[in-house]
A and B are shown apart, each in its own frame.
Chain A
Amino acid sequence: MNLDRLLPNLGEWLRGIGPESDVVISTRIRLARNLAETHFSNRASLDQKAATEARSCEAIAAAELPYKLEYADVTKLTPIDRQFLVERQLISRELATVLDGPRGVAFNETESVSVMVNEEDHLRLQVMRSGLALEEAWAEIDRLDDALEHRLAYAFHDQFGYLTACPTNVGTGMRASVMLHLPALSLTKEIEKLFRSLQKINLVVRGLYGEGSRASGDLYQISNQVTLGKSETRVMQEIREVITQILLYERRARQLLLKERRQAEQDRVARAIGTLGSATMITSEETMELLSTVRLGIQLRLIDEIPPTTVNQLFIHTQAAHLQKLMGTPLDGEERNAARAKYLRNRLRELGAQQR
C-alpha cells in the first residue's frame, strides 16, 4: 500500500473540530478481541498467525459497513512507513517494531476506524473522533464489532467476558481515552494535583508518548483502567464526569492567565512563533512545546494569524517519519532537526505572506 496519499490529510484525530475542541483534541475507543479456539498472538506459531490474519481480513472485507477498510500488511512496509502509521495513531509501536510474523492494520479513508491484526490480541478495533465524542465513538465501534463478530467466533467467557491475552484487558476489552490539551493547568502546576486525584478513581493519565510527568506539548490522555465488573456505558460515564471537571479547571486557569498576565502570555506566544519561524535546528520536543504555546495563544485570542488546523498540521508534519516522507529521503537525527526547522520557517513565511 502506498501511504504517501495520507500525507496531506490531517487524520480524524487532528481535524481540530468537534465538541469542546478548545481543550479536547480527540476521543479514542479501542476494543480487544480474540478468536475462539486458537492461541493468543504471543503463543501462536507463524502458521497460526497467518491463519488468523487470513480469517480476519476475510471478515473485514465482507463486513457490512458504511465505509471501506483497506488492509496494510505491516511486514511489507518500510521502517519509515511503519513509524508514519504510529505517528498517525493507526498502529501501536509494538505492531510496528516489536512483534513479528504476519500482522497488519485495516483502516478507512478518513482514518477514523482501524483494526490491528495480530497485535497483543488478535484484533484491536479502534475508533477515533475529534473533540469529545464518547457516545459517537462507542456507537461506531459497537457497529464495527457486531459486523466482525457476525463472521468471526470471538473468545468469550460467561464470567470474564471477552478474553484477552493480558488479564488487565479482560471483560469489556475496552479502553476509552480522551486526549486533552492542558497548557494552563500545566503552567499553574495544578496538573499534578489533578492527576493524583484521578489515580484514586482508577483512571490512567499519560502523555501523548508517555514520558515523565510533563507530557510533550501539554497533551495528556485520560483513560479507564478497569475493564471487568463495569459496563462500557458506566466506564464512559465516569470518564465523561471527570473530563467535565477538567474542562472547567483548564478554562478557569486560562481565564486567570488572561486576567493576571495577559502581556506576559502575549509575549510568550510571540516568542514561540518567532522561534518556530527562525530556528535553523529544532527538535521534535521543542517544536511540540512551542506549538502548544501557539495553540494556547489561538484559544486565548492573543493571535489570529494562524488557524488552529495549521497548528495541527505543523504538529503532525514535524514528527520524524512525516518529515522524512515530506522530504522524500531518510534523515538522521541532526538532519531531521535542520529539515524540521526549514519546514517550519517556510510554512510560517507562507502564512505571513497570505496575511499581507
Chain B
Amino acid sequence: MNNCQFCGEPATVHLTDIVNKKKREMHLCEACARQQNLIPSAPSPQLNLPALLQLLMNQFPSPSDGSETDELDPSVLTCPTCGLKYAQFRADGRLGCPEDYEVFYPVIVPILERVHRGLQHKGKVPSSVRNRRKLDEVSDLKTQLNDAITAEDYEEAARLRDRIRSKETAE
C-alpha cells in the first residue's frame, strides 16, 4: 500500500511510466488526483489525458536531464506554421497542426514513449501513401538497373528488371 506523495493519505491513483527502461511511479489519493485535474468532475467520459500528460511532463521535465550538453531548450520552440508555443502545448497537451510533430519532435518523443509502447506506426497506411511508396521503390530499382547496365553486370540487371516488372504488375 502506497501513500499519496502530495498529502500522505492512502493512494488510490497509481501512475507508472517507463523511460529508458527505468520504471518510475507516482501515487496519489483521489482528492489530490482531482486537484491535479486527473479525474474530471462528473459527468465526463474519461480520464483527463491532457492533465495526465502535463503532470508527467512537470514531474520529469527532461528525459535526459544534464547528461547531454547540447540539450535543446524546449521553451524556445514555436511552430512557424500555426504559431503554437511549447508553453501552450504543455498547458493543454494539444498540438496545433500536423507540422508540430516535426517542430516539437524532441519533446513529443518522450511523451509518446510513455503513453504508447512504441515510436513507429504499425498499422493502416493511406492508399495515396502506399502508392507513393511503391513509385519511390520502383524508381529506386530503375536507378539501380541503369547502374547495373553501365557496370555491365547483366546478371544483376536481369534480376532487377524482374523485380521492377513484378512490382509494376502487382496492382
Chain A residues engaging chain B, CB cutoff 8 angstroms: 34, 36-40, 42-43, 92-93, 120, 142, 145-146, 149-150, 153-163, 165-168, 170-172, 174, 202, 204, 206, 209-212, 225-234
Q: How close is A75's CB to chain B, nearest CB, in angstroms?
A: 22
Further contacts, 8 of them, CB under 8 A, given A166-B49, A206-B46 = A36-B98, A38-B97, A42-B96, A120-B94, A142-B124, A150-B127, A226-B115, A230-B123
A-B contact pairs, 15 of them (CB 8 A): A40-B96, A42-B92, A93-B44, A149-B128, A156-B129, A157-B98, A161-B125, A168-B49, A168-B115, A172-B124, A226-B116, A229-B116, A229-B117, A229-B119, A230-B117
Q: How close is B114's CB to chain A, nearest CB, in angstroms?
A: 10
Q: What residues of B have a CB within 8 angstroms of the CB of A165 in the complex?
A: 94-96
**Number of residue pairs A-B, CB distance < 8 angstroms:** 135
B123 touches A210 (CB 8 A): no
Task: Give CA–CA (A211, B97) in the complex, Å.
Answer: 32
Task: Give CA–CA (A145, B126) in the complex, Å.
Answer: 9
Which 9 A-B pairs rank lowest in CB-CB distance, beginning with the nearest? A229-B118, A161-B121, A43-B96, A155-B98, A228-B116, A231-B123, A211-B42, A172-B123, A210-B45
A145 touches B95 (CB 8 A): no
Asked whether A229 and B120 contact (CB < 8 A) given A34-B98, A37-B98, A42-B96, the answer is yes
Q: How close is B57's CB to chain A, nearest CB, in angstroms?
A: 11
Asked whether A43 and B53 contact (CB < 8 A) given A149-B126, A157-B98, A167-B93, the answer is no
Task: Give CA–CA (A154, B124) in the complex, Å.
Answer: 12
Asked whether A146 and B120 contact (CB < 8 A) given A42-B96, A166-B93, A206-B46, the answer is no
A163: nearest residue on chain B (CB-CB)? Answer: B98
Q: How close is B93's CB to chain A, nearest CB, in angstroms?
A: 6
A164: nearest residue on chain B (CB-CB)? Answer: B95
Q: What residues of A have a CB within 8 angstroms of the CB of B83 in the complex?
A: 43
User: B interface, by DSSP: helix, strand, loop or mixed?
Assistant: loop
Q: What residues of B have a CB within 8 angstroms of the CB of A120 in the complex?
A: 94
B118 touches A230 (CB 8 A): yes
Q: What residues of A have a CB within 8 angstroms of the CB of B44 in the complex?
A: 93, 210
Q: How close is B5's CB to chain A, nearest CB, in angstroms?
A: 19
Mark out the residues of chain B between 96 and 153 whose CB falls within 8 Å of any chain A CB in the assembled complex: 96-98, 101, 108, 111-112, 115-129
Q: Is B87 an interface residue (CB 8 A)?
A: no
Q: What residues of B have a CB within 8 angstroms of the CB of A210 in the complex?
A: 42-46
A157 touches B49 (CB 8 A): no
Asked whether A204 and B47 contact (CB < 8 A) given A39-B96, A160-B101, A212-B42, the answer is yes
A227 touches B116 (CB 8 A): yes
Q: What residues of B have a CB within 8 angstroms of the CB of A163 in the complex?
A: 98, 101
Partner of B126, one of A154, A227, A229: A154
Partner of B112, one of A153, A154, A170, A202: A170
Q: Is B77 an interface residue (CB 8 A)?
A: no
B96 touches A171 (CB 8 A): no
Q: Is B84 an interface residue (CB 8 A)?
A: yes
Partner of B43, one of A149, A166, A174, A209: A209
A167 touches B115 (CB 8 A): yes
Mark out the residues of chain B between 65 and 81 whose CB falls within 8 Å of any chain A CB in the assembled complex: 81
B50 touches A43 (CB 8 A): no
Q: Is B19 an interface residue (CB 8 A)?
A: no
Task: Give CA–CA (A161, B43) in the complex, Å.
Answer: 32
Q: Is B7 an interface residue (CB 8 A)?
A: no
Partner of A171, one of B45, B50, B93, B121: B121
A161 touches B123 (CB 8 A): yes
Q: Is B82 an interface residue (CB 8 A)?
A: yes
A226 touches B124 (CB 8 A): no
Digitize B30-71: 1 where CB-to-A-CB distance is under 8 Å, 0 elsewhere: 000000000000111111011001000000000000000000
Task: Give CA–CA (A204, B52) in the complex, Å.
Answer: 14
B128 touches A228 (CB 8 A): no
Task: Give CA–CA (A38, B83) in the complex, Å.
Answer: 13
Asked whether A167 and B123 contact (CB < 8 A) given A39-B97, A229-B117, the answer is no
Q: How close is A201's CB to chain B, nearest CB, in angstroms?
A: 11
Q: What residues of A have a CB within 8 angstroms of the CB of B128 in the complex?
A: 149, 153
A33: nearest residue on chain B (CB-CB)? Answer: B126
Task: Give CA–CA (A257, B65) in the complex, Å.
Answer: 56
